[in-house]
Structure 1
Amino acid sequence: MAQVIQSDTAVEATDPRILRSRRMLMDALIKLLNEKEFEDISVQEIADAATLNRATFYLHYPDKNALLQAMTAARFRELIARRGLSFTDCDGALRAIALGVCDYLSETTGCPSQLTKMPLEGSIIPAVEGMFREGASKHEARPAVDSEMLGTAAAWAMFGAARRWLQTPGRVSAEEMAGQIEAMVKPILMSGAV
C-alpha cells in the first residue's frame, strides 16, 4: 500500500495552528502600526502583542520585514478575492493583479494608521513578483531570458503606474486603470515567452 506524504508547504497552507499563529502575528503588527513607527517595533513586541513567544515568531518569519511582506501578500490576495476575480487565463490574472494593486494602494492611503507613511513598494512589489513567478512557472521561457528579471520589471511597472494613477486628481476608475496597466505590462511579460 502506497503512503501519501504531504509536503511541508501543503501542511503549512492548511494546518489551522500555523494559520492561526500567522494571523495572530499579522493582527499584532497591524495593532502596533497604529501605535508606533514600523522601525520602532521589535519582534518581541509583535510576539507579546500576539500572545506568542519570540521563538514562535521565528518559526514563521525570519524578521519583521518578512511578516510585513506576508501581511501585504495576504491582504493583496484578499482584495482580489473580494472582487471575485479569477485567474482563469493569463489575461485575467494580469488584469486581476493590476486591479489588486490599485485597490491595495487606494485602501492603504485611506488607512488611519502609519501604513500610509511607509514605502509600500517594499511590501507590495515582492507580492506581485511572486504572482508573476508563479505564472511564469507555467510557461516556457525563451532561452537566455531571465524570467525573474522580467517579473521584477513588470511588477515595478505595474506598481509605478498604479501609484501614479492614485496621485492623479480626477483619476479614472480602478477597473479602467487596470485595463491600461494590463496593456502596458503585458508586452514586458510576453517578451520572454516562447
Structure 2
Amino acid sequence: MEKTLDPRFLRTRRLIMDAFLQLAMEKDFKEITIKDITSRATVNRATFYYHFFDKHDLLEKVLAEDVLQGVLSHVETEKALTVDIMQTIFNSLLQFHRSLANQCMRSYEAFTPKIEMIIKEELARVMRDFLKKKHEDWPYEKVELHSIKLSWTIYGISTKYVASGEQPNEEIIRELLEEMI
C-alpha cells in the first residue's frame, strides 16, 4: 500500500497541519518552531521531517491542500467556465482571504507572499483546465497566458476588497467577469 493512502500517514499529517494552524493563530509565523509544532502535534521531530521539508513547506502544503480546497473544490467538477463559476470563485476567494486574515491575524502578513503564489498557481491551473476544454484549438502558450490573466485578475480584485474592508458591488464584479470571459 502506498504511504499516502495509509490512514496512519494521513492521520499524522493531519495532526501536524492542525497543530501548525493552531500555532499560527497564537504566534507570528517567524516565531513558530519545529519544536512547537511537534510538541503540539505530539509527534517527534523525525516524523515531522518525514512529512515536510521545513515549516515553509508545511505552510505551502496547508494552504494548497487544506485551506484552498474549500475555495476551488466545488468548481473543478463544472463543465465550462461561466460568469457564475467565476463569480463563485471570486466570492469563495474573498471569503477565504477574510477568514484567514481574521483567524490568523498575527501571521496573515507573513503568509501573504506564499498565499499569493499558491492561490495564483491553483487558480491558473483551474482556469487552464477550463480553457483547454473550451478552446481545444488554442496553442498551449495562449491557454497558459489567458489562465494567468484570469487568475491574477481575480486574485488582485479579491485582495483589494480584503485590504479596504469594503463589500464588492456584485453588479460591477459580474460585469468585469463577463468582460474577462
Q: Same fold (TM over 0.5)?
A: yes
Amino acid at match of 2:161: W
Correspondence 1:126 to 2:121: no
Task: Work out the percentage of aligned pairs sharing the same amino acid.
Answer: 23
Task: Give, in angstroms, the shift of residue 102 of structure 1.
Answer: 0.5
Partner of residue 115, structure 1: 107
Task: Give, in angstroms, the shift of residue 44 of structure 1.
Answer: 3.1
**What CA deviation, in whole Å up to 9, does each residue of 1:78-128 have, x standing for no partner?**
3566xx666313336544332221111121232264133334241253144
Structure 2 segments unaligned to the other structure (5+ residues): none
Partner of residue 105, structure 1: 97
Amino acid at match of 2:40: A
Does the Cα contact within 8 Å between 1:72 and 1:124 map onto a contact in 2?
no
Change beyond 3 A, Cα 1:168–1:183: farther
SS in 2 for 1:57: helix
Change beyond 3 A, Cα 1:169–1:79: closer
Amino acid at match of 1:156: W
Partner of residue 22, structure 1: 13
Correspondence 1:143 to 2:139: yes
Count of residues in correspondence between the two structures: 174
Structure 1-normalised TM-score? 0.68
Change beyond 3 A, Cα 1:78–1:45: same
Matches of 2:53 and 2:30, distance apart in 1: 16
Higher RCO (CA < 8 A, seq sep 6+): 2
Does the Cα contact within 8 Å between 1:34 and 1:113 map onto a contact in 2?
yes
Change beyond 3 A, Cα 1:16–1:177: farther
Q: 2:77 aligns with which of 60, 76, 87?
A: 87
Structure 1 segments unaligned to the other structure (5+ residues): 1-5, 188-194
> Which has a greater percent of helix?
2
Amino acid at match of 1:50: A
- Calculate the aligned-residue CA RMSD, in Å: 3.4
Amino acid at match of 2:97: L
Does the Cα contact within 8 Å between 2:23 and 2:37 map onto a contact in 1?
yes
Change beyond 3 A, Cα 1:172–1:98: closer
Matches of 1:170 and 1:137, distance apart in 2: 31
